[in-house]
Amino acid sequence: MPLERDEGEYAYAGQLMLQGIPPYVLAYNMKLPGIYVAYAGVMAVFGETPAGIHLGLLLLNAATTILLFFLTVRLFGRLAGTVAALTYALFSTSASVMGFEAHATNFVIFPALLAVLLLLQAMRSQRSLPVFLGGLLSGIAFLMKQHGIFFVLFCLLYLGWSEWEKKNFRILLQRAAMFGSGVALPYVLTCWFMYRDGVFRQFWFWTVEYAGEYSKMGLRRAIRAFLENSQTVVAPAWPIWILAAIGLTAVIWSPSARRHSRFLIALLLCSFLALCPGAYFRPHYYILLLPVTAMFVGVAISAVTEGLISTGKSAYMASLPLLVFLLCFAFSVLRQREIYFSLSPGQIVQSIYGDNAFVPALKVADYLRENSPADARIAVLGSEPEIYFYARRHSATGYLYMYSLIVHHKYTDRMRDEMMHELEANRPLYVVYVDVWDDWGPPEGGPQLASFLPRLQEFMDRSYEVVGVADINQPTHYVWNVAARDYHPASSKVIYILRRKAGS
């Protein structure tokens, strides 16, 4: 599958790191750099291609599934662990959570679950090293995406409850300090590396100051986003989500579930809070909720099975809960059978995102790479950073997305001026103008777009001429060179490739 825009950002930033260029120099965004390091590592091993990136995702997802199995087995037994692992494997590879794309949330879950497993081991052995390592992994989860801070909160709560019950407050303080130092270490080292590379000011602005502005969202819009996206996420496997709800009630009626009720409720609460920063509730954010949901499904099947066995039911009767789960599992796979078994990669992208620039971006990037020297600078006016990655050309502006330039906030004017200055100073050989509404922000941003777009159009009209058009229709129609100058698109979604005029 081709990369979507978030993947494109991570891949481009990771590609720059492999070239020795630190984050926040040629690529600006509010994500912490952990995800860029992760992508750089994946591409160093599997290659700088979409297939290499997605192979890394598959292996990471498989490792996360196995990790969830062992975590659930330790608390609730082998049956619960098996069901939880199967559930997570299904949920996390569903198009409803964009499970075919390597989002930062996938990279949060693995270190977060490993941290929890280490803490459970530390509580049984009373050793200090697993506590520190748990904190270190929690800190790495936070570096992958700021939402990971809520898994740090969970670990602190669970660690605190466990030690508080033992009334050993000195050990509690020691372990909290050990865990906290592990959490802080990755971020402190990141700040030091950013300072050493001379990009700390940019790093702080984008990941702290601007990130705070980005997170401001109206309550009504947040509620609507939560309801709409929750329905989208649940729909393909709704019977299994019902089993998860049954598992949630098991903390009341099942002795085995009640023993670990604090663990389950705290993890559920913190996982839900991890969805909430910015109140956007995007589908791939729900990946953060999937491990605890899968555990509740495992708890439901295990608890009902134990209940049947304890009342003397036959082995056939006791196997009914597992049979119900398998039927729900099969139903969910069948509902998604076209995406899993029938559609081509391009058709899958269209089924998830509609008519978008992700597939045409491949051919656009091929044209740029074949018609420009390796040291040429290009600019993508639109939110398609994957074009930089495919073309293997450096960006003339660090603004990979147009959203921050369109939505009104206290940094809007500053950002617009900075972007225009970078375009004028770096004189990109090619400009890619993506005339697709999704690349510029929500419909309510129309007035803001109208106030900024003329500046971009004046820049393009003054110094550039059209040399390529991707008319995003079904199928997409491509026109190049002289024929592109007088071409009139049939679609309302178009990508224009412009080359700097001779002598300008």
| pLDDT (tens digit per residue) in 173-205 | 888 899 999 999 999 999 999 999 999 999 999
Residue 163 has pLDDT above 80, yes or no: no
Higher pLDDT, 352 or 139: 139
Residue 477 has pLDDT above 80, yes or no: yes
In Å, how far from its chain's centre is CA 195? 26
Rounded distance, CA 365 to CA 327, Å?
Answer: 45
Residue 217 has pLDDT above 80, yes or no: no
Residue 435 has pLDDT above 70, yes or no: yes
Rounded distance, CA 461 to CA 114, Å?
Answer: 54
* pLDDT tens-digit map of 67-80: 999 999 999 999 99
pLDDT of residue 53: 98
Question: Looking at residue 471, what DSSP letter applies?
Answer: E
* pLDDT tens-digit map of 85-128: 999 999 999 999 999 999 999 999 999 999 999 999 888 877 78
CA distances from 117 to 95, 124, 275, 387 (A): 28, 11, 22, 39
Question: Looking at residue 22, what DSSP letter applies?
Answer: P
Residue 7 has pLDDT above 90, yes or no: yes
Residue with tokens 């600006």: 28
Handedness of CA 341, 342, 347, 352 (dihedral sign): negative
Listed residue (296, 320, 291, 325) closest to 307, CA to CA: 320
Residue 168 has pLDDT above 80, yes or no: no
Residue 445 has pLDDT above 70, yes or no: no
In Å, how far from its chain's centre is CA 349? 16
pLDDT band, residue 84 (cuts 50/70/90): very high
Q: Please answer whether residues 90 and 333 qualify as being in contact, where contact means their C-beta atoms are separated by less than 8 angstroms.
A: yes
* Exposure class string for 420-434: b at 16+ Cβ within 10 A, else e: bebbeebebbbbbbb
pLDDT of residue 446: 66
What is the residue-wise DSSP string for 213-237?
HHT---HHHHHHHHHHHHHHHHGGG
Handedness of CA 215, 219, 221, 222 (dihedral sign): positive
The mean pLDDT value for 275-284 works out to 88
Residue 237 has pLDDT above 70, yes or no: yes
CA angle (63, 274, 139) in 5-degree steps: 60
Residue with tokens 């920063």: 277
pTM for this model (two decimals): 0.94
pLDDT of residue 452: 87
The percent of residues in the chain predicted with pLDDT above 90, rounded, is 78
pLDDT of residue 141: 97
pLDDT of residue 352: 87
Higher pLDDT, 162 or 230: 230
Residue 394 has pLDDT above 80, yes or no: yes
Work out the angle between the directed axes of helices 34-46 and 129-144 (0-180°, nearest 10).
90
pLDDT of residue 261: 93
User: Per DSSP, what are the bridge partners of residue 190?
Assistant: none
Higher pLDDT, 172 or 228: 228
> In whole numbers, what is the pLDDT of the chain averaged over residues?
92
Residue 374 has pLDDT above 90, yes or no: yes
The mean pLDDT value for 81-88 works out to 98
